[in-house]
Structure 1
C-alpha cells in the first residue's frame, strides 16, 4: 500500500508543535540528572576522604619538651655548692677509672680521680666496696628496667676469666625535681631487693655466661643506644618491681664481685637540648657524664640537708646504717611496701 503524499508530509508536521512547546522540560530533566550525578560524586568523594583520613595513621609525632639541668641544681655545667662543707668527702671510695671519654658528651670529659684508662664504651665509674655491701639510692628514682647477666664465672673487659661474675643491672629514671629526665644505671650488683624472684626462684638464678637469652625487661641502656625490652628469657620469674620508686638513701641492691674484686658501678645519662651524636638508636638528648667530676656528693643520713642537685653517696658511711633486716642480702621489698 502506498502512502498518500499528503499523509507523509502531514504526520511529522503534527509532532513539531509538541516538541517546540515542551523542549524546555527535557532540558530541565537533563540538568536535574546532571546535578544529582555531581552531588552523588561529591558525597562519595567526601566519604572517601574521611575514610582515607581514618585508615592512614599520622606520621607526625607530638612535640615533647626536653628537660635540662635546673640552674638551682649544682653540677659541673651549672655552679658549685655555695658551701662545700661535707661535700665530696669520700673520694677514697672511688674506683680507678671513670667513663670512656669518647662517649661522654656533656660536662668534663675526664673523671676527677681517674688513674687508669677505661675500656672502650665504659659508661660510668665504680665505688670500691666490701662484697655484698648495701647500696643506697643517690636520689629519688624509679625502676624502669633490669638485666640479669650474673654467672658462676665470666670473661671481664680485659679478656680474663673471673669467678664469680656478679652482674645484675638496674635502670632507674630520676623522680627528683633536681634532675628531671636523668637516667641512672647500676651494674655488677650481687642482687637487689627490687627483684623479688632473684636467688629466690630457681628460674631467676645465675645464667650461662654469654647466653643470648639473658633475662631482661624494661628500658636498657648501652654505650651508644637504648631501647625497651618487653620481656626476655623468662624475665617474669625475677619479679622485678618495675615502676617502684625508691627515695634517696633507701636500699636498692648489694655490691657484687668480679673475681675477688668487690664493687658497684654507677652510670648517669643527663638530658640536654644538645644532640648526642654518638647515639645510634634511642634518645639523642641524653648524655653520658663523668660521675666523679660532673656531680657533687654527700654522705646520707635521715637528718642531712642536701643542696639542690647534690647526690647521696650510695653506701653506708659516717655512722649511718640501714635497718638490720635490710643488710641481709635475702631481703626483698614486698609489692606494697
Structure 2
C-alpha cells in the first residue's frame, strides 16, 4: 500500500473481492456499522479520511463532518440517504452518492407480492391450513385484484415498475406525484389524480415517496380517513412517511381493511408492537432490496461510486452533483 493512497472508512460488510478492490486503491479504516464516525475513527486518522462507504445505520451530520475535515465523498449503500444531512454535506463540499436503479425491480416485486398477499389473504390462508381449520370448513372468501384501482403515491422508477406489473393484472392504476409523468400517461400506465382523490378512490394505496422533512408523516389520519373501509395500504418506501400510530388505530378499528409493510418507524420492529398482533397486517423485515442479486448490485455500485470519486472520475450516482466540481477542487 502506498502512503499516497487516500484513506477511507468502511462501515459496511463488503464481499472479499470488493474489499480487495478498495484495498488496492485506498487505505481502509474499518468502523462497525452504525457507530459514530466522530468517535469510532481514531483521532490520529480523522484528518486523513477522504471517503466513507456506509449503510443507513451511519449518521453523517454536523459532528461527523467537523471531525473529518478532509472528507470529500460519502457513498451510501442504499438508495435512501436520510441518514445524511445532504445540505450540510453540500455546504462542506462533500459529495453524497447512493445506489438508485439497481434495486427498483426487487422493491416493485415485493410491493406486488404484498398486494397479492393482502387481497387474497395468503398469510391468513396459510395459517388456516396449518391450524387444521380447513378440516372444519371452507376458508373465508377474499378479493379479486383484477378491475380494482391501485393508487400510487409517488411515480418514480419503482412506482412506474409497479404500475407496469399491475396493468398486467388488469388493475386500474392512478397516481399522484409532485410532477406529472407525461410518458407514463401517454403509455397508458397510469392516470394522474389529485392527492385526496388518490386516497378516496383507490382499493389499494401503495407508497413510493422518499423520506424527507416534508414527507415525514405524509400519510396520516387525514389521508387514512379518506380511504375506503375495504382498502389496503402498502408501504415499501420508508417507515416514517406513514404516521404509524394513526395507521394502527385505523387497522384496529377496521377503518381500512389491512396493510402490507416492509418498513416501519422503528426498525427492527419490536415484537410487542401492535402491528405484530394485528391479523390484517402483512409484515416484512425491510427486505425490498433483499435478494442476493440486488444486494450485490447495490454493493458494486456503492464501491464504484467511492472509488470513482477517489480517482477523480465522476461517480455514476450522485445525490448532490453540484458539489462534484467543488470536490474536485478540494482534491487538487
Higher relative contact order at CA 8 Å, sep ≥6: structure 1 or structure 2?
Answer: 1
Larger Rg: 1
Q: TM-score per shorter chain, which class? A: under 0.3
